[in-house]
Chain A
Amino acid sequence: MHASLPDANTLIARLADAIAPTLTPDTLIVGIHTGGVWVAERLHALLQCTKPLGTLDISFYRDDFSRIGLHPQVKPSNLPFDLEGRAILLVDDVLHTGRTVRAAMNELFDYGRPASIRLAVLVDRGGHELPIRPDFAGLTIAVPDHQNINLSRLDDGHLTLTLA
């Protein structure tokens, strides 16, 4: 067990500070279900983004579908805007192998052709298996393969990171 992980809200604030100078008015924020949406909601508020928030459920794009099947609770993706030619800020909670981000990008391209996609993650834990790196990371930490970092949300909306 790690001594202690930083507070998730502190990390989100740090992330927002890093993103803010690079944010153009037409940037669209898209969170990946489920943890990525929680982080994206916070960033959306902190960055005072006026465009609606998009959400992606990448279940239909997973590369392990034929082995493990469909997740029983697939949430609909909701991209309430035309992303053709737009700048996208893709948000997830934890970057590990990069396969989720790969699937998310494939799904985004089925909706249109964005001008650019940048990736913001709360935690980059290493263990990448694809050439995918974050443009913004709240925390970069090397976590051994047998351990997992999880973001959870309490009933009061408070976000916490745990290592197990």
Chain B
Amino acid sequence: MNLQLAEDGRLRHLLTLDGLPRAIITQILDTAESFMDVGEREVKKVPLLRGKSIFNLFFEPSTRTRTTFEIAAKRLSADVVNLNIATSSQTKGEAILDTVDNLAAMHADMFIVRHAQSGAAHFIARHVAPHISVVNAGDGRHAHPTQGLLDMFTIRRYKGEFHNLTVAIVGDVLHSRVARSQIHALTTLGVPEVRVIGPKTLLPAGVEQMGVRAFHDMEAGLAGCDVVIMLRLQNERMKGARLPSAQEYFKFFGLTPEKLALAKPDAIVMHPGPMNRGVEIASEVADGPQSVILPQVTYGIAVRMAVMAMLAGGATA
């Protein structure tokens, strides 16, 4: 049973892009397109989710993702409550489902969940009453579906189509929920060549089974790419002895203007943020003409509006 879809095929929760039908992904992207102009209006709001209560449940800290979910919900006229649970009840030992039950008793309509444990959003989605929707805003190493969707939206805006693209995802694929969501979305949307580039210690064993080609050097991996997606290198990986040093990582896998020149001349550079300048990406590239890193943030709002509107509309009450 697919927990994400209602019996009539409508989106009920958004937990992962793995197995999400192409038609639904396309519908989310199309809907996001029509939300793009709301941010330009005199009144930056539409009344779709008026009277709905959306709870941002962040068990793990985040600034950008939480903020863009909050703005998206407010542009849809929902009431938003932000809970940074890492600093509240959890430290008092409250179980996660007790937290959820308490918020449901306050008449929540939707939970946006970020948690360090893979599967946390699924766990909550299985537990909640039928009228409540759950959006996974990042769970452990598993998935970050709205990030994957906003990346697809960005690619479609700049490249138009998916069927003729070569896309490279560079860096710490092993620990990246963003990379997993991107790979599922890219393959579902029919991108013929998806590459992952990184040191052997940071690519998952058997990654080819996800339908991608693995490269261990940038020269071969970037050749002919239309889209280059850089991943954040988390500092704790250095301590975990997977890498010798940030300097050495930058030398081999950091995106510099010279390495970017190996991709197509009109290639775009993406990064989910936050960036480590001088570790996975050089400032000249991050701030350069091929970077679409800031548009990604703007598009993230429209995409999250689309997801929330699709979840809240016609809900089986």
Establish whether residues A69 and B310, one from each chain, have CB atoms under 8 Å apart when the complex forms. Answer: yes
Assess A76 versus B27: contact at CB under 8 Å? Given A69-B10, A111-B43. Answer: no
**Sample of 11 A–B contacts (CB below 8 Å):** A57-B34, A60-B309, A66-B313, A69-B314, A69-B315, A74-B31, A76-B33, A76-B37, A110-B42, A110-B46, A112-B42
Smallest Cβ distance from A134 to chain B, in angstroms? 24
Smallest Cβ distance from B183 to chain A, in angstroms? 26
A-contact bits for B21-46, CB 8 A (1 contact / 0 none): 00000010011011011100111011
Establish whether residues A76 and B34, one from each chain, have CB atoms under 8 Å apart when the complex forms. Answer: yes
Contact residues in A for B309 (Cβ distance below 8 Å): 60, 70
Interchain Cβ contacts within 8 Å, total number: 58
Establish whether residues A77 and B37, one from each chain, have CB atoms under 8 Å apart when the complex forms. Answer: yes
Contact residues in A for B41 (Cβ distance below 8 Å): 110-111
| Chain B CB within 8 A of A75 CB | yes
Establish whether residues B45 and A110, one from each chain, have CB atoms under 8 Å apart when the complex forms. Answer: yes
The answer, among A65, A75, A77, A107, for a CB contact under 8 Å with B313, is: A65
Contact residues in A for B38 (Cβ distance below 8 Å): 60
| Chain A CB within 8 A of B312 CB | yes
**What class of interface size applies to chain A in its complex with B?**
20 to 34
Using a CB–CB distance below 8 Å, which chain A residues touch chain B? 57, 59-61, 65-70, 72-77, 106-107, 109-112
Task: A109 to B313: give the CA distance in the assembly, Å.
Answer: 23
Task: A76 to B38: give the CA distance in the assembly, Å.
Answer: 9
- Of residues B37, B42, B45, which shows the largest number of chain A Cβ atoms within 10 Å of its Cβ? B42
Contact residues in B for A60 (Cβ distance below 8 Å): 34, 38, 46-48, 309
Smallest Cβ distance from B24 to chain A, in angstroms? 10
Contact residues in A for B45 (Cβ distance below 8 Å): 110
Smallest Cβ distance from B87 to chain A, in angstroms? 34
Establish whether residues B47 and A70, one from each chain, have CB atoms under 8 Å apart when the complex forms. Answer: no
The answer, among A66, A67, A70, for a CB contact under 8 Å with B31, is: A70
Contact residues in A for B48 (Cβ distance below 8 Å): 60-61, 65, 70
Task: A61 to B34: give the CA distance in the assembly, Å.
Answer: 13
Task: A60 to B44: give the CA distance in the assembly, Å.
Answer: 13
Assess A70 versus B310: contact at CB under 8 Å? Given A111-B41, A111-B42. Answer: yes
Task: A68 to B30: give the CA distance in the assembly, Å.
Answer: 18
Task: A105 to B41: give the CA distance in the assembly, Å.
Answer: 15
Task: A90 to B317: give the CA distance in the assembly, Å.
Answer: 35
A-contact bits for B291-317, CB 8 A (1 contact / 0 none): 000000000000000000110111101
Contact residues in B for A75 (Cβ distance below 8 Å): 34
- Of residues B10, B30, B313, which shows the largest number of chain A Cβ atoms within 10 Å of its Cβ? B313
Assess A73 versus B30: contact at CB under 8 Å? Given A65-B313, A111-B41. Answer: yes
Establish whether residues B314 and A61, one from each chain, have CB atoms under 8 Å apart when the complex forms. Answer: no
Task: A66 to B30: give the CA distance in the assembly, Å.
Answer: 20
Contact residues in A for B36 (Cβ distance below 8 Å): 76
Smallest Cβ distance from A101 to chain B, in angstroms? 16
Task: A61 to B41: give the CA distance in the assembly, Å.
Answer: 15
Task: A106 to B45: give the CA distance in the assembly, Å.
Answer: 11
Report the nearest B residue to A106, measured CB to CB.
Answer: B47
Establish whether residues B46 and A66, one from each chain, have CB atoms under 8 Å apart when the complex forms. Answer: no
Smallest Cβ distance from B48 to chain A, in angstroms? 5
Contact residues in B for A68 (Cβ distance below 8 Å): 313-314
Which residues of B261-317 are within 8 A (CB) of A? 309-310, 312-315, 317
Assess A110 versus B37: contact at CB under 8 Å? Given A65-B48, A68-B314, A70-B313. Answer: no
Report the nearest A residue to B305, measured CB to CB.
Answer: A60
Report the nearest B residue to A107, measured CB to CB.
Answer: B46
Smallest Cβ distance from B37 to chain A, in angstroms? 6
Contact residues in B for A70 (Cβ distance below 8 Å): 31, 48, 309-310, 313-314
